[in-house]
Structure 1
Amino acid sequence: MTRRRQQSGRNMPNNRREGFVRIISGRWRGRKLPVHDVEGLRPTTDRVKETVFNWLAQDIHEANCLDLFTGSGSLSFEALSRGAQNVTMLELDKKAAEQLEKNRLTVGADNAHIHNTDSLTFLNKQGTPYDIVFIDPPFRKNLLQDVINLLETNGWLAPHAIIYIEAEKELGDPETPIHWHLHKEKTAGQVCYRLFEREEA
């Protein structure tokens, strides 16, 4: 599968490029937001997204969220639409980050904060705790373990944080801290997506 730059998020095969992401539910239900046409960019599919936000239904309202490797912003804008208090988006690709900013202005999301930066660099400092973290790194770049370690050691997670991980099925089970408990898990094609609940160490 063709992949683009190391830190860009939510990649897709070239023959599945889409020009927009659709918000499924909440105050912006049905809105379609443009996606910058970057080679390899893939939004999380509606089917997966709907499942994930069903899992998060009791937790997303007023949550402080961090979206790593944001890409299209599909998860971020869905979270905001469903009542998240704020979302921090990290995206390395400059054009993709600019499109995220345009979409933020389109929907009037003053509680969205977009950083055109490398996710690992951002996490490699002492952090502010987040309630929900979305992790969807580019496949086959060996980034997931470093992300997990940095989130935990640098204070990016609230005591009972929820961590969503979307990764290639072939990767198998990620190595997570003993106090991260697997809550939900499903597979869609070559992608496995999991929800972990953290207990304070």
Structure 2
Amino acid sequence: MPARSSSSVPARRAAHEVRIIGGAWKRTRLPVADKPGLRPTPDRVRETLFNWLGQDLDGWRCVDAFAGTGALGLEAASRGAAQVLLVEQDPDLVAALRAIRARLQAESVEVRRGNGLTVLKELAGSGQDLVLLDPPFDADLFDKAVAAAAPALRDGGFLYLEAPHRWSDAALEAQGLRLLRHLKAGAVHAHLLGRAAPPGP
């Protein structure tokens, strides 16, 4: 393959799609519907998240509770997660997610139409390795989502929260969580959270 010229210009991505950036389905295009509040996680943020987690999620159990385009959950499945549950309430987005699942023959992925908070509450005690939370920024669901997600994690599991501001340590501690990593990218604050260590004797 010829070397790429330093003066070449990267191909411009279509405005209404994002791509899986790593793993078995790298470069797969995901459509972005014109829906209020639909704001796919930027490539830079997703790349950083999976650098934090490690590139190989082999065997992990994951939930993307506000799936939207499915970019976060499908990224996890692309990197080897054994079970990925994509939860979405909008019927058009659910249909799009099911079409992508079929196109990729993604047997590890389940698409469920439903309320993300309700499904998270049903998953309490299920021992998830990773719960992904990217609710619409104008829906004011962040406190409720974190509270519902924390009981679904296994010991040593991770919770990813995307929000319009940095979450306070006190708010996290109230849910038995601690901040492991944080990134600000434009209007997005990305948080990687883990269970707080139990108090000493």
Shorter-chain TM band: 0.7 to 0.9
Higher alpha-carbon Rg? 2
Does structure 2 retain, via aligned residues, the 8 Å contact 1:64–1:132?
yes
* Percent of residue pairs identical: 35
Answer yes or no: is 1:156 the counterpart of 2:152: yes
Q: Which residue of 2 aligns with 1:67?
A: 64
Q: Which residue of 1 aligns with 2:183?
A: 186
Distance 1:184 1:172, change over 3 A: closer
Q: Which residue of 2 aligns with 1:176?
A: 172
Map 1:26-105 onto structure 2 (within 5 A): 26-57=23-54, 60-105=57-102
Q: Distance in 2 between matches of 1:177 and 1:75?
A: 25
Distance 1:126 1:74, change over 3 A: closer
Distance 1:141 1:40, change over 3 A: closer
Q: Distance in 2 between matches of 1:92 and 1:189?
A: 27
1:131-172 C-alpha deviation (Å, 9 max, x unpaired): 1011111113221111122223xx411111101110002x64
What amino acid is aligned across from residue 60 of structure 1 in structure 2?
L
Q: Distance in 1 between matches of 2:55 and 2:24?
A: 17
Distance 1:34 1:58, change over 3 A: closer
Question: What number of residue pairs does the alignment pair up?
Answer: 182
Q: Distance in 1 between matches of 2:123 and 2:190?
A: 27
Q: After superposing the two structures, state which structure 1 stretch, 116-125 or 155-164, moved more.
A: 116-125
RMSD between aligned residues: 2.1
What amino acid is aligned across from residue 164 of structure 2 in structure 1?
E
Q: Give the unaligned 5+ runs of structure 2.
A: 1-13
Q: Which residue of 2 aligns with 1:8?
A: none
Shift of 1:58: 5.8
TM-score (normalizing by structure 1) = 0.82
Q: Distance in 1 between matches of 2:73 and 2:185?
A: 20
Relative contact order, CA 8 A, sep 6+: which one is greater?
1
TM-score (normalizing by structure 2) = 0.82
Distance 1:58 1:107, change over 3 A: closer
What SS does the corresponding residue of 1:193 show, helix, strand or coil?
strand
Q: After superposing the two structures, state which structure 1 stretch, 172-181 or 140-149, moved more.
A: 172-181
What amino acid is aligned across from residue 128 of structure 2 in structure 1?
Y
